[in-house]
Amino acid sequence: MSALLDTFAAQRQNLEGLAQESRLRRLIPRSGLDFSSNDYLGLASCAELASAIRDAIARGVPVGSGGSRLLRGNHEEHERLESEAAHLFGTESALYFSTGYAANSALLSTLPQRGDLILADELIHASAHEGLRLSRSEHLFARHNDSADFAKLADTWRAKGGTGRIWLAVESLYSMDGDLAPLDELSAIADERDAILIVDEAHALGVFGSQGLGAAEHLSGRENVLRLVTCGKALGCEGALLCCPAIVRDFLVNRGRAFVFSTAPSPVMAAAVRASLLLVQSRPDRREKLWRNVRLANEALAPLGLSPSGSQIIPIILRDDQRAMDAATALQAKDFDVRGIRPPTVPPGTSRLRVSITLNVTEEDIRSLFHELANVLEAAQPAL
């Protein structure tokens, strides 16, 4: 055993360092009222999706794919999902990935070429950072939601001799701040500079748009707009769909290593995603009820001196790491599942509580949370 411990001495030392900084992560069972998940429409446990999965299995759809899509893993359920998603999102084609992480990694590491420039929002997903790290193209970070900074960086790069394609990479709704990207301004920048806009709709799908198809719903079908729609949040399933021109799909099928060398997603899950997309369209009452819950939460923010974020994600910035974690622990003790978020997930000095409003709680639950939150914030006042 001692030899084994010596073998992993560097890893043990790293973990001990995290523990000393009170940043050691642990997996804990879920408990309490759901104010932390991304299951915004409450679909993950709904009867309709359970029925869709039972029906798929009864039709003989296999649980496992048995291989990558390029081997024997390609199933008609994958192709039906992609065909229906392309039609729904107004694009030539779609490609189904096992996770949003794999999709972002494949997309940003594969499509931009050597000599191109990727301009990414500084608060973009960690999975996008992975794609940027693997990319052969140059990349720069623009100030968060600052369209003028995107334009300035693009123009400066061109003025210095940059001749390749420019790619703008953003989220439509940011998961830790709950704010929306200026998509119309970014789309105009892409149009004016012959650039391509990549929009990660992970947290907006199912919540925003006239049909619940995301904050970039009105940009559907534009050749220079690629939309990534995650299936593991409001859709209550797993995986991610890249909605794109056919040439992009073909290129990723041939060159996207995260796609080529991954076992295909479960065909049963593909059937579940199809059912979930139908639910989003056919049950606008779920979205309407969610927004009633959001408005109720926003009303409760005012007496606390806090402002709404504009979405179902409400950050309560406490700045200090320990106070954020202590506040989360206090709420959890009262049966409210609210999580503290610290660096490196968020920038230093912005530790926070992340309150997620979903259909997994009642209006009374929301009132109770914010009543208790008032007491917690009063205790944490020195950090505000």
Structure token digits, residue 56: 């798929």
- Mean confidence (pLDDT) of the chain: 94
* Integer Cα distance of 151 and 119 in angstroms: 9
**Element (H or E) spanning 43, and its range?**
none
* Integer Cα distance of 211 and 198 in angstroms: 20
Mean pLDDT for 115-134 is: 95
What's the confidence (pLDDT) of residue 293? 98
Q: What is the DSSP string of 211-250?
A: TSS-TTGGGTT-TTEEEEEESSSTT-S--EEEEE-HHHHH
**Element (H or E) spanning 63, and its range?**
none
343 backbone φψ class: left, alpha, beta (φ>0; ψ -120 to 50): beta
Maximum distance among all alpha carbons in the chain?
Answer: 63
Structure token digits, residue 263: 């076992």
Q: Out of 157-161, 252-256, 305-309, which region has the weakest mean confidence (pLDDT)?
A: 305-309
φ/ψ of residue 351, rounded to 5: -55, 145
- The tally of CA atoms less than 13 A away on the side-chain side of residue 33 is 21
% of the chain exceeding 90 in pLDDT: 89
Best CA proximity match to 38, nearest among 198, 196, 257, 205? 205
% of the chain exceeding 70 in pLDDT: 97
Q: Could you give the strand order of the β-sheet that contains 240-244, starting from the edge strand earlier in sequence?
A: 93-97, 240-244, 225-230, 196-200, 166-171, 117-121, 138-142
What band does 3 get if pLDDT is binned at 50, 70 and 90?
A: low
Q: Which residue has the higher pLDDT, 20 or 22?
A: 20
What pTM was estimated for this model as a whole? 0.93
What band does 384 get if pLDDT is binned at 50, 70 and 90?
A: very low
* Integer Cα distance of 212 and 228 in angstroms: 14
* Integer Cα distance of 149 and 171 in angstroms: 16
Q: Out of 31-35, 46-50, 373-377, which region has the weakest mean confidence (pLDDT)?
A: 373-377
What's the confidence (pLDDT) of residue 29? 86
Q: What are the Cα distances from residue 187, in Å, to 131, 170, 180, 226?
A: 22, 11, 14, 11
φ/ψ of residue 4, rounded to 5: -65, -40
What's the confidence (pLDDT) of residue 382? 53
pLDDT tens digit sequence for 52-107: 999 999 999 999 999 999 999 999 999 999 999 999 999 999 999 999 999 999 99
What's the confidence (pLDDT) of residue 383? 46
Query: Between 246-255 and 100-110, two packed helices, what is the crossing angle to 10 degrees?
Result: 90
* All domains of the chain in start order, with CATH: 47-281 (3.40.640.10), 284-384 (3.90.1150.10)
| pLDDT reading at 329 higher than 70 | yes
Cis peptide before 344 (omega within 30 of 0): yes
What's the confidence (pLDDT) of residue 27? 87
What's the confidence (pLDDT) of residue 192? 97
Task: Give the SS3 label for residue 362.
Answer: coil
φ/ψ of residue 169, rounded to 5: -120, 120
| pLDDT reading at 380 higher than 90 | no
* Integer Cα distance of 42 and 361 in angstroms: 9
Counted residue by residue, the chain has a size of 384
φ/ψ of residue 94, rounded to 5: -150, 155
Mean pLDDT for 336-360 is: 94
* Integer Cα distance of 182 and 197 in angstroms: 12
Residues with a known catalytic role? 38, 125, 171, 175, 200, 203, 233
Residue type, 331: L
What's the confidence (pLDDT) of residue 5? 60
Residue type, 202: A
Partner residues linked to 317 by β-bridges? 352
Q: What are the Cα distances from residue 190, in Å, to 28, 174, 258, 359?
A: 43, 20, 27, 36
**DSSP 8-state code for residue 303:** G
Task: Give the SS3 label for residue 163.
Answer: coil
Structure token digits, residue 198: 């990549």
Measured over the CA atoms of residue 243, residue 245, residue 248 and residue 250, the dihedral's sign is positive
Characterize 10-39 residue by residue with b for buried, 16 or more Cβ atoms within 10 angstroms of its Cβ, and e for exposed. eeeeeeeeeeeeeeeeeeeeeeebbbbbbb
pLDDT tens digit sequence for 171-228: 999 999 999 999 999 999 999 999 999 999 999 999 999 999 999 999 988 999 999 9
pLDDT tens digit sequence for 247-266: 999 999 999 999 999 999 99
